[in-house]
Amino acid sequence: MSIYQLIYRNTKRNIRHYGLYFFALVFSVGLYFAFLTLQFDASMGSIEDSIKVSAAIKVASIMLLWIVAVFLIYANRLLINRRSKEIGLYQLVGMAKRRIAFMLAIENAILYLGSLLLGVFAGYLESKLLTMILYKLTGLETIAELNFSTLALRWTILVFSLLYLLLMIITSFQIKRQTLLSLFLVRDTSETAGKRITWWQMIIGIAGMLFILFGYYLSTRLFSGDFDATNELMVQMLIILTSCIAGTYLFFKGSVTFLLVLFRKRKGGYLSIKQVLSLGSIMFRMRTNAFLLTVITTVSALAIGFLSLGYITYYSVGKDGDALTAGADFVFLAKEDANTFEHVLNESGIQVQTKETSTLELSADLTGILAKGAGITAEQQFLVIPDSQVGMDLSGGQMVLTGQSDRLKRSLKFQPGEVHFLGEAERTLELVDIHDTYQVPSFLSFGAPIGILNEADYRQLQELPSVISQSFIKIIVQDDRDKVGAARLFQKQQFEDNAVSKELSETQQKMQMGLYLFIVGFLGLAFLLTSGSILYIKQMDEGDSEQQTYTALRKIGYTKTDLRKGIVHKQLFNFGIPLLIGLSHSYFAVKSGWFWFGSSLWIPMLAVMVVYTLLYSIFGALSVIYYKQVITRSL
C-alpha cells in the first residue's frame, strides 16, 4: 500500500471526527472573506466618513483571525492526540517520523483546500447577507449588492496558507518530541479519572465558590457611591475581574468535584446508572480541563456582556433622543438660527410649534437634598427654570427636581430637603417633589437634574450678578410624517454646534451602535462556534475512551435506553455548567453598570442570553448524538 492510498483511507475514515472541525473552518474562512469584502467594498464609501465602517471591519477581521488561529492550534492538538496510537503503530512498522508528518500534512492540505474553496464561495454569498444585516442595523436605506473582491480573495488565501504552514510546523514538533511509548499512553495520561479526591481539592472547591461570590458582591457595590475616585473604581474592577476569573478556575478545579462528592454522600454512595454515567466522569475529568473551561467561560461572559451592553444602547436610542432634546424635534440656543429654520420649514409646508424657555445657572449647595454617601462637593452649578414655562404652579419657597438621567440615579439619590443658592444674597428653597420628565435638553444640563421654581423666586435669583442667564428654543413638528423631511432640511442648513436635531442624533447613534452590534455579534458567533467545536472534540475523545465501559454495562443487562438517559444528563453538566457560569458572570457585569449605556436592562440582556444559549445548546445536542453512536457500536 502506497502512502497516498493510506492518506486516502485515513481521510475517508476520519471524516466523522473532522466533520464539525471542517464546518468551523469553512465558517471561519467564509466570515473572514466576507469581512474583507466589506472592507474593500467601494459602496461602503458613502458611510465611511461618519462611522468609519472600513476601519472598524478591519479591526474585526484581525480579531477574528486571532480567534480562528487559537482555535485551529488547540483543535489540531486535540485531533493529533486522538490519533496518537495510530501514529505509534506507524512508527512500529518502520515509518519515519518525517514521513508521518508528511502524511498528516497532505491530509490537512486536502482538508484546508476544501475548506478554503467552500469558505470563499460561502463568504461570497455571505457578503451580501452581511451587508444587508449591516444596513438594517445601522438604519441605512441602501440596496446591498453581491460583489466579488479579488483583493479579499488574495488576502484570504495568503492568511490561511500561513496558518496552515504554522499548524504543520507545530504538528511536526509535536510528533518529533514524543517517544513511541508516550504515543500509546497520551490518551491514558490526559485524564485524571480514578485519582482520589483529597482534602486540598475540597479546600480549592470552597475557595472557588467564595471567590466568585466575593466578585459578585463587589460588582453590586461598584456604582453605589462607595467608590468615588476613578482610580478606586479601576482598582475595584480589577479586583472583581481577578476574583471571578480565579474563582472560575478553582470552581472547575475543585468546586464541581466538591459539590458532587456532597451529593454522593447524601445518597449514601448508592447512585443509579443514570447518575453514575452523568456524574462519575465529571467528578474527575472537569478538573483536568479547568484551564480550557475557564477560558471558554470567561470569553463567553465577555461576549454576552459586550453584546448585552451594545443592545441596551441600541434598544434605548429613542429614549436617549428624548432626553437630548427634552422631547422636542429640534433645539436651538441661537434665536436667529431658530427663526431661520422655522422660516425654512414654513416655506416647505411643514407645520411646527415653537417654544422658548429661559434658564438660570448658579451655584447651589445640594447636600441638603442628597442622600448620605453621595460623595460630591457641597457647591455645584445648578440649572433652574420658572414653573410658568412648564405648565406648573408652585408656591413660593418650593422647588421640584426633574430630568435626572438613569446614569445619575444609580450614583446620586435625592430626597426632600433644603437647597441653598449661594451668592451675594443666599436664598433657600424646599425640595417638595422629584419628577422624571426632561424639561431642559441633556446637552445643556449634562444629564444632571434641574430645578423648577415659582416665578417670583426665579425672578429674585435672576437679579443676582453671579447668575448666568440662557435660553433655548424648542421646535416641535406637528405631523409625524414630516419629521424625516424636516431633519433633512436641518442637515442642509449646516448649523453650528448650538443646534440639535433629535432625528439626526438618533440616526447617528443607531448607526454607531448598529456597527458595534454587527461586529461584536459576528465575533461572538465565531467564538461560539470555535469553542463549541473544541468542547465537542473533547466529548468525542471521552466517548471513545468510555466505549469499553458501555460494552461491559450492556453485557450485564443495561439497555441502550438506560445508557442514553445517563448520557443526556452528562452533556447537560458538561455544557450546562460552563454556560450557566458564563451567563451568571455576564449578568452581574451588565447589572453593575448597564445604566451608563441605556435605559432598559431586561429585554436586551435576556434576548442576548436566550439566543446565545440556544446556539450553544446545538453542540450539546451534537455530543449526545455522537455518544448514542458510541453506545450503539459498543456491542
Distance from C-alpha of 235 to C-alpha of 357, rounded to nearest angstrom: 43
Distance from C-alpha of 405 to C-alpha of 103, rounded to nearest angstrom: 65
Name, of 111-125, 194-208, 410-424, the range with top average pLDDT.
Answer: 111-125
Length of the chain: 635
For residue 75, give every residue at least 6 positions away whose Cβ sits within 8 Å of its Cβ, in sequence order, or none. Answer: 21, 24, 530, 533, 534, 537
Query: How many other CB atoms sit within 10 Å of the CB of residue 279?
Result: 19
The pLDDT of residue 192:
46
Residue 573 backbone phi and psi in degrees, to 5: -75, -45
Burial of 466 (0-12, 13-18, 19+ CB in 10 A): exposed
Distance from C-alpha of 378 to C-alpha of 384, rounded to nearest angstrom: 18
For 47-61, 207-221, 476-490, which range has the lowest pLDDT when averaged over its residues?
Answer: 47-61
Q: Tell if the pTM clears 0.85, that is, is over it.
A: no
CA distances from 364 to 422, 461, 463, 516, 555 (A): 5, 11, 16, 40, 85
Query: How many other CB atoms sit within 10 Å of the CB of residue 477?
Result: 22
Nearest to 300 by CA among 574, 75, 578: 578
Instruction: Return the H-helix or E-strand segment holding 568.
Output: helix 560-593
* Position 141 pLDDT exceeds 90: no
Distance from C-alpha of 296 to C-alpha of 67, rounded to nearest angstrom: 12
Residue 499 backbone phi and psi in degrees, to 5: -135, 135
Distance from C-alpha of 390 to C-alpha of 512, rounded to nearest angstrom: 34
For residue 99, give every residue at least 6 positions away whose Cβ sits within 8 Å of its Cβ, in sequence order, or none. Answer: 3
Query: How many other CB atoms sit within 10 Å of the CB of residue 280?
Result: 18
Distance from C-alpha of 400 to C-alpha of 457, rounded to nearest angstrom: 13
User: How do strand 352-365 and strand 379-386 relate by DSSP bridges?
Assistant: antiparallel
The pLDDT of residue 98:
84
The pLDDT of residue 212:
92
* Position 456 pLDDT exceeds 70: yes
CB 453, CB 418: distance < 8 Å: no
- Residue 316, classed as helix, strand or coil, is coil
Question: Angle 429-432-437 (CA atoms, 0-180°, nearest 5)?
Answer: 110
The DSSP line for 405-442 is -HHHHHH--B-SEEEEE-SSS-EEEEEEEE-----S-H
CB 64, CB 32: distance < 8 Å: yes
Nearest to 498 by CA among 332, 260, 373: 332
* Ramachandran region, residue 557 (left: φ > 0; alpha: ψ -120 to 50; beta: rest): left
Average pLDDT, the chain: 81
User: Euclidean distance between the first and final Cα of the chain, in Å?
Assistant: 31
Distance from C-alpha of 357 to C-alpha of 474, rounded to nearest angstrom: 8
The pLDDT of residue 191:
46
* Position 16 pLDDT exceeds 80: no
The pLDDT of residue 211:
93
Q: What is the pLDDT of residues 315-361, one digit of tens each?
A: 877 666 677 888 888 999 888 888 999 999 998 888 989 998 899 88
* Position 412 pLDDT exceeds 80: no
Nearest to 185 by CA among 100, 76, 85: 85
CB 249, CB 290: distance < 8 Å: yes
CB 208, CB 243: distance < 8 Å: no
Considering only residues 380 and 33, tell me which one the structure prediction assigns the higher pLDDT. Answer: 33
Residue 78 DSSP label: H
Q: List, in sequence order, every residue forming a beta bridge with 476; answer none if it has no partner.
A: 353
Q: Where are the extended beta strands (E) located within 447-576?
A: 450-453, 468-477, 499-501
- Domain boundaries of the chain, sorted by first residue: 1-190, 196-323+502-635, 352-477
Instruction: Return the H-helix or E-strand segment holding 403.
Output: none
Residue 388 DSSP label: G
Distance from C-alpha of 327 to C-alpha of 152, rounded to nearest angstrom: 46
* Position 72 pLDDT exceeds 70: yes
- What does the block give as the cell for 76? 489540531
